[in-house]
Chain A
């Protein structure tokens, strides 16, 4: 008989609470870093919930299931993994208390525990159904009016004056605050928004450019350890993470002409599988090699190499960016012809270079055409930390692409730190991408399919297809951070519950109560160091909501018939005040988070038994 473990709600709650206690250490403004030592002895620092949870290497199947849900969620949004756990724990707790209160009316259950479990299961199902049916409306009514919408102009506006429209920067600052702590968040949000300004193509949907940055991130940043973080900066052009193969005299001639080469300069005389026979006299005339020296083959190869170099020289090429390692002879001849060679460049970097310069790679140097030559304003060595790299800048970019390519240099005291900054940067881009995803049931259904296929690229099409539909809240909606979202939704849910309480639907009321109360745990944990701050924020927000409602009532009276199709309002309301102190977070991320947590809860509660199977491990 297999060892069977009956699962009770208590067990589930206990497991999730343990996870919660770990995550709480780095949650909110008072949270700190987690230091993770890999099995190789390498140190890694993180405040990211995903990293913390994977580092724990949990054994308990339930905990692993939770971690998997978190990973899936954060792979899609790049944010909210710590909130996921907190919300999950709080929801389970609420369900537990509610389920325990329900009187045991049925005799079908032979124990009280079974009754509790079944009630909990039913509640969880109701919660998911509730979320799918009514959450959209509640969001549109109760939360979205207090937020604002990012528009494409925000990215461009920031370019003109740094202080004019701080929305994007605020959004990033809040994200980095939760990822890197308060001390560096300003610096990083500034760098990131500047990077976005330079890369985002005018007149195109921002998510397209964001995708490009996300995909090319390895080639777009350089980590440098040993320096203070304040040395992090943006530099013009691209950094190729290789050094010149031979020290090369720099000419001031402009423009610098470069080619991308994926093959060898030195021709291969013998390909794999071919056989060269030396000195076989019996073949007579057919194979005349018997009298020839082997050196003739290398003579031929070298003269061919010389021709290739001469050809490059006649085209005026002075830089070769090679994907492979070239022979010593090729390097020496190129140096004599004053051509610099950069060897072993990774595919990603060559792709980016090709994209920015508009040329395609060449396999054989003898086939080179004038179209394959890239024009650069400069190509020079750059010393970053202990490494020397090649720094290039492109010519005539204004005409071809309407962007200013730039590279991010991330400095930190050690490798652990720079890695952390890079991860945070990548997730910030992903978070921005999901901010641009529209909210609504249609979108959420499609995205849930998406997360299965794990393709980020298809989101573009969704954005386009949905732009025709009238979605409830436009993409790019942001709300004030610091627990404001949870407090707003809490309030909206309570109101919603009150409005339906007249009907016979008791469950719906209970469900919205559970969700509303569970949400409160987030702001409580944010202000865990002083409950005074929590109460202050809550009162301030409530006062604000009441005032706002008064205004909207007046407005609605005036323009009846339009209905309550709220589009997000521009920031000219007093909500601006809130945003400026608290920062911003993406509404779309929050929406997805809520759905993901509710699904996770119902998944967890569906399980009733654990079966431990013994498999003989292969040794």
Chain B
């Protein structure tokens, strides 16, 4: 699955981050290839979230370099990361409850129609596109319903649909299967497969071992701010990963 010749879509080298006296990340090197699904695992406080936030442009790394599709990039804000093709599905989904599903999908990049000098929202086009995306996710979600009234799975669909708007080349999902039903977990994993088929790289941050082993090509384990393992999924086992996460095994 991973081709050594292809330029990695994302390449981190020597990434470190300090918050005051706290060293959250230290010397992290990793790469993600196009169409590859990488699981990022680790206990709470292992540095997963910090790493995700650095890649997503929320934080600037204290040390190290980020290369996206071969070019060095510096993200000051999340929009910068989005502009090059990195999309994030946040754990708390980052939805505005008081808006409709379609409005949330298009939040920050609304479709507009020009009426002379003024540009007004194109509600019809946004609803139609949102419905299309929900169809692809096979989620029973109406674009005009308020997010306030939706189930956990529908909210997830809205958050994931958002990443499908642009031609994202890397989608990071922070615990996408943590708060949804078994059937919806299947749907989300199915979606990850489809992203992969499209050549989109996916980084799955999850606590759920079965999900990681079901979809990932490779698993990266973080512990105490450092990368402890980076292995193809068929060369490891849930037991080994658990040992790496807890520290029973130092590195692999």
Q: Do A and B bind each other?
A: no
A binding-site residues for B, Cβ under 8 Å: none
B binding-site residues for A, Cβ under 8 Å: none
